[in-house]
Amino acid sequence: MPIKELVYLKETPGMGLGIFAVRDIEKDEVIAEFHGPRIRIENMEGIPHEVWDHLFNVDICDYIIAREPAVRTNHSCDPNAGIVKDVFLAAMRNIKKDEEVTFDYSVVTVDDWQMECRCGSPQCRKIIGNYAGLPDDIKRKYKNYTPGWIKGAQNTQ
Ligand SMILES: [Zn+2]
């Protein structure tokens, strides 16, 4: 059963589409779900570029080709949401109606993917990479909002 999603899509200046709260959201409320067909990394050769933009890691080699609105969540280095139970976006703090909802892409990134960040927060790391590369204090901050599989992936390295 899909959950009732608490966000709407809106164009953001310079960042493309983003997701915004339909109402005030309390800390730990589930906001949206990453759902869609699953694909394994070995089956990805030749998939179109627009599909790459929809991939959401749910294990080291497993991805969901995620649908809107969740797939439009922008990254922030000072996010107000994180990931719980692998596929749900949940509030890390109270969020106001019409506030943009963001999460830190590093909590679901295991490979060498990198992105230049211009999120504008004072905590901005400028280059966003994988979970293993996050400083320990940031890992602690995201502790309850980080998928279990990526913490496991970290331990085996
Ligand atoms: Zn940033």
**Averaged pLDDT, groups of 10, the chain, 157 residues long:** 89 91 98 96 89 92 95 97 97 98 96 91 96 96 96 62
Instruction: Report pTM.
Output: 0.93
What is the predicted pLDDT for the residue at 157? 42
What is the predicted pLDDT for the residue at 152? 76
Q: What is the 3-state secondary structure of the chain?
A: CCCCCCEEEEEECCCEEEEEECCCECCCCEEEECCCCEEEHHHCCCCCHHHHCCEEECCCCEEEECCCCHHHCEECCCCCEEEECCCEEEECCCECCCCEEEECHHHHCCCCCCEECCCCCCCCCCEECCHHHCCHHHHHHCHHHCCHHHHHHHHCC
Q: Kindly give the distance from the C-alpha atom of residue 140 to the centroid of ligand 1, in angstroms, as a whole number.
A: 18
* Residue 57 in tokens: 């890691």
CA 21 to CA 27: how far, in whole Å? 13
What is the predicted pLDDT for the residue at 44? 87
Q: Kindly give the distance from the C-alpha atom of residue 131 to the centroid of ligand 1, in angstroms, as a whole number.
A: 15
What is the predicted pLDDT for the residue at 84? 97
What is the predicted pLDDT for the residue at 154? 55
At which residue do the structure tokens 């992936």 appear?
153
Q: Kindly give the distance from the C-alpha atom of residue 43 to the centroid of ligand 1, in angstroms, as a whole number.
A: 31
> What does the domain layout of the chain look like in residue ranges?
7-33+68-152
Q: Kindly give the distance from the C-alpha atom of residue 67 to the centroid of ligand 1, in angstroms, as a whole number.
A: 24
Which superfamily is assigned to 7-33+68-152 in CATH? Answer: SET domain (2.170.270.10)
